Amino acid sequence: MSSLQDSHSTDVRSHLHPYTNVIKHRGTGPRVIDRGAGIYVYDDQGKQYIEGMAGLWSVAVGFGEQRLVEAATRQMSQLPYYHTFTHKSHLPVIELAQRLVDYTEGRMATAFFTNSGSEANDTVVKFVWYYNNALGRPLKKKIIARQRAYHGVTVASASLTGLAGNHRDFDLPLPQIKHTSCPHHYRHANPGESEEDFATRLANELEALIQQEGPDTVAAFIGEPLMGAGGVIAPPRTYWQKIQAVCRKHDILVIADEVITGFGRLGKRFGSDVYGIEPDIMVFSKQITSSYQPLAAVLLSPKVNEVIAENSGKVGTLGHGYTASGHPVATAVALENLKIIDERGLIENAADCGALLHEELRALADHPLIGEVRGTGLIAGVELVADKATKRPFDPLGKAGAYAYEQAHEHGLIIRGIQDTVAFCPPLIITPAEVREMVTRFKRTLDDVTRYVGA
């Protein structure tokens, strides 16, 4: 490209962006990110930003980690690609599969690899169906997800997702996918209803939905331990225990989508450990490689794995997989990434700096625009409201969040506006001083939003 202007105009002309208003993009053009270092990224004008979303909830070890570059380079030199079909394997995928299984301390038996969380959850749907066919239960195929859930964008995973923008004009969701209520106490609890009572009501609602559909037709329940893209929604106390009790009663598999929460984001290895989830299937991506390489994993419990294995023997093959399943470069990078997380104590850092992040954000709770500060570990959401006393949202919904997202760039901060919730999810390497600087930049953004909405 001869100039920055040329590259920007070429992007508008030639590049169809995901999750972007294409018509708006033709007018605004792209913000081109040129390089990264630690928790910071820099655009092609040289402007620095704190990457307060770790890319897409995913860059655990920060940008520019040389050990991951070297791990990829070594593997590219030795074996740049090979597949895992028809009994083939290679050392990085073998070692990574064992490490992931070991991390679960016996709860999971095997790992199946894909390229993304969307593909992983698509795979989960197929495995759930395969599992029930193997058990002679051809009607037990429905999967229950939740409103405001995010599980991906392929046909099956987008159906699991509970967001209207992922369904509208795509002819989704699939009929086998059902949705139950979002567990957001601030927005959906009845007046005076405690978290525990709210959780009981949601468990009863799930029971009613299962009875309505027919227990013999419901195969699985899928949920993020803490909901991310739906608005950073932590479950109310006792929620997962009560939901799991309903599932166990009806022989319904429990699937933990740990794509965002896995590998330390919430201050423990897995979100399931934080909330007492005992899943039959676990799904990982994003922080598994810090997104330096595309990779995701589906982990199966011994019970589920054995049924699937035996059925593959009857059928003659497990007829599912991807050209890059367990790619050697991606799995080598994942191994090094997980070593860094452990060696540098990044899970503990997420707990400590996460506590500081929430303390700093809660200090803003008296601000007239802030309705709720929520989250766990190094993931937080600040919900902006038009009226603090009544929790009245802005009209149109998303007005304040969209402005906050755009205006934060002016203060060197990348956040995310989810309707009117501002999301934070910085790299796990962030320091206390950097947490405070991130919140300082957010305060400046909040001042701008206050002026914008006339509060």
Q: Which domains does the chain have, with CATH numbers?
A: 31-61+345-453 (3.90.1150.10), 69-343 (3.40.640.10)
- Can you list the residues of the chain whose pLDDT is less than 50? 1
- pLDDT of 454: 86
- pLDDT of 9: 95
Over residues 13-68, the pLDDT tens digits come to 999 999 999 999 999 999 999 999 999 999 999 999 999 999 999 999 999 999 99
- pLDDT of 455: 66
Dump the DSSP string for 255-278.
EEE-TTTTTTTTSSS-HHHHHT--
Contact 307, 266 (CB under 8 A): no
R_g (Cα) of the chain, nearest Å: 22
Contact 360, 435 (CB under 8 A): yes
Q: Give Dmax over CA atoms of the chain in angstroms.
A: 67
CB burial readout 418-434, b (16+ within 10 A) else e: bbbbbbbbbbbbbeeeb
Q: In angstroms, rounded to a whole number, what is the distance separating the alpha carbons of residues 340 and 9?
A: 39
**Helix locations, 15-154, DSSP H:** 22-28, 54-57, 66-78, 91-103, 117-134
- Is omega for the bond preceding 294 within 30 degrees of 0, making it cis? no
CA–chain centroid gap for 20, Å, is: 19
Give the list of residues 6+ apart from residue 435 with CB closer than 8 angstroms, or none. 353, 356, 357, 360, 426
Give the list of residues 6+ apart from residue 291 with CB closer than 8 angstroms, or none. 55, 56, 58, 59
Over residues 415-427, the pLDDT tens digits come to 999 999 999 999 9
- pLDDT of 226: 98
Relative to beta strand 142-146, strand 413-414 is unpaired
Token representation of residue 387: 């009226």
- pLDDT of 5: 77
Burial of residue 209 (number of CB atoms within 10 Å: 0-12, 13-18, 19+): middle
Token representation of residue 309: 């294995």
Query: Taking the model in full, what pTM does it have?
Result: 0.97
Token representation of residue 50: 């704190």
Q: In angstroms, rounded to a whole number, what is the distance separating the alpha carbons of residues 104 and 101?
A: 5
Token representation of residue 244: 């799991």
- pLDDT of 102: 98
